[in-house]
Copies of this chain bind each other. A is one copy, B any other.
């Protein structure tokens, strides 16, 4: 009985790692759709969020079921409650990738990204993808070194986010208001995506050490 229980806990963890894979792929494709004004790709990201949502509901239902049936204490209780939080972060990350795809779709057949910001947007997409991949490895391996790395990666993301604004707000900016709004929103979505990945990593730290990471 005890073993079946821990198998179920492992299953939750595997589903969440799968969610990080889906979110990483979604953010990568959404960024490409944004850069290339690729409507088909944008639509595929929007459609794929359904699978993230399905896994979310599945993990949530399983965690709740385990709480009710097994009445866990101590570290098992902490794992279940923390899983409920992590899975909510991951579900939100899927939404944020979807929002980036929607910016691409709204501006099609134009690209929402003006030439002078292509490399920054590309770097933000890469940073987001790497951060969520590390969050997945954190969950899978309960790896605290990786969790610390992720905090630094998020600093890089924040720096790229600030760079976006410095370009839009420069006197040399000729992209106009519409592009400025698209970039402001897409930038905000990517930055929040990374924040949620950091939050996932901090929850892993809490699971392992019992200590909360204060930002």
Contact = CB atoms under 8 A, between A and B. Distances in A.
B178 A177 contact: no
Contacts of A173: 177
Chain A residues touching B, range: 20 to 34
Identical subunits present? 2
A173 B84 CA distance: 45
A142 interface: no
Given A180-B177, A188-B185, A77 B81 contact: no
Given A64-B77, A68-B73, A81-B81, 16 more contacts: A64-B81, A67-B77, A67-B81, A68-B77, A71-B73, A84-B84, A84-B85, A85-B88, A165-B181, A168-B177, A168-B181, A169-B177, A169-B178, A177-B177, A184-B184, A184-B185
In order of increasing CB-CB distance, the 10 nearest A-B pairs are A71-B71, A177-B180, A184-B184, A181-B184, A180-B180, A68-B77, A169-B178, A177-B177, A180-B181, A68-B73
Interface of A: 64, 67-68, 71, 73-74, 77, 81, 84-85, 88, 165, 168-169, 173, 176-178, 180-181, 184-185, 188
